[in-house]
Amino acid sequence: MAPNIIAYIFYMVRDLIAHYRDPRIINIPFIGNLKYMVSVIVIYLLFVLYFGPKWMEKRRPFELKYVMQLYNAIQVVANTIIFLYAVLFTVLSPDFSMLCQPVDYQNTSPHMMHIIYASCGYYLLKYLDLLDTVFIVLRKKNSQVSFLHVYHHAGMVFGVCVYMNFLCASHCTMLGLINLLVHSVMYAYYFATSLGAVKQVLWWKRHITQVQLLQFSYLSLHFLLVIVRNPCQFPIFMAFVGFTQNIFMFAMFFDFYYKTYMRKPRQQVQQVDAADEAAQKLT
């Protein structure tokens, strides 16, 4: 009985996905395949939570300084280019509404296709982001593999995959646009510290978290506007999911910010930051 119910649910979900999926992205390699996304997330979770730490248990940490410098540089360049490209067809375009942008699978205008191409680039970057955790495991910094870290990285891959398949170039696009900007700044900070510019960029660390809090605050408002007033008929359920998810992320990041920068004495925070940066420089 149970296998029949599971099979029924599986085929029902498969048919629903096939029926409601955005036809504009189906033929784009990798982007429109949900099985790839699920497979990557499962492999990621198994590695960073179990097999990776177990494999590294009796091994020395990998020296990844130059690999991570290259990785951070690639992240800065890629996020910045896609951000600037996307801005041209969203914020700077009269054809895109920041207040309420509908889901319109029939819109295949050149302008809309440029937004879809930018979204594809952003989606692929979410897979590249997973290497953050892989590097942490290989360097045996397992204390940094927190619930917030893993949830955020795996959740972004899942969430952007849903966006690409069902909500591409819609009201959710602003989430990716702002996230690209935040990641450009964040990876620029990581790159600078890896080069040894600790004193020059140490003050970035606290403000990067503040920028992330501003990101979640704006996006909460962005989705709330559609919940309150919805002239473009954007799916209210998805707006509610976007609103609650960003409230949740704000709460988690604020908890981290409060514990790290507000509850500790100021001098102690500076000492901890300096120690962290020195450790990054050495490794």
Question: Which pLDDT score is estimated for 259?
Answer: 87
Question: Which pLDDT score is estimated for 32?
Answer: 75
How far apart, in Å, do the first and last CA atoms of the chain sit?
55
What are the C-alpha distances in Å from 34 to residues 6, 14, 186, 215, 250? 18, 10, 29, 27, 28
Segments forming the whole domain that contains residue 79: 2-282
Higher pLDDT, 14 or 120: 120
Query: How many angstroms separate the CA atoms of 76 and 81, rounded?
Result: 9
pLDDT in tens, 174-229: 999 999 999 999 999 889 888 876 666 666 778 888 999 999 999 999 999 999 99
Alpha-carbon Rg for the chain in angstroms: 20
Mean pLDDT score across all residues of the chain? 87
| CB 174, CB 98: distance < 8 Å | yes
Q: Total domain count for the chain?
A: 1
Question: Which pLDDT score is estimated for 197?
Answer: 64
Percentage of the chain with pLDDT > 90? 67
Q: What mean pLDDT do residues 141-164 have? A: 92
149 in catalytic set: no
Q: What mean pLDDT do residues 143-156 have? A: 92
Range in 10-24, 27-41, 133-147 with the lowest mean pLDDT: 10-24
Instruction: Out of 111, 114, 149, 152, pick the active-site residue.
Output: 152
